[in-house]
Amino acid sequence: MIAGSYFIFHYSKSFDQQDSVDSNPGLSINSAVTDSNGAALYLQNCASCHGANLEGEVNWRSPKADGSLPAPPHNQDGHTWHHPDRLLFHITKFGGSSVAPKGFKSNMPAFQDVLSDNEISATLEFIKSTWPKDIRQRQKHITDKDAESSRQ
Alpha-carbon span 85 to 64, nearest angstrom: 27
The nearer residue to ligand HEC, 102 or 152, going by C-beta atoms, is 102
Nearer to ligand HEC, 21 or 152 (CB): 21
Give CA–CA dist 38/125, Å, rounded: 7
**92 near ligand HEC (CB under 6 A):** yes
Smallest gap from residue 114 Cβ to ligand HEC (A): 8
Position 64: which residue type? K
Q: Which is nearer to ligand HEC, 61 or 79 (CB)?
A: 79
Query: Would you count residue 84 as binding ligand HEC (CB under 6 A)?
Result: no
Identify whether the C-beta of residue 26 lies closer than 8 Å to the C-beta of residue 94: no
Angle formed at CA 46 by CA 43 and CA 51, multiple of 5 degrees: 80
Q: How far is the CB of 30 from ligand HEC (least distance, A)?
A: 16
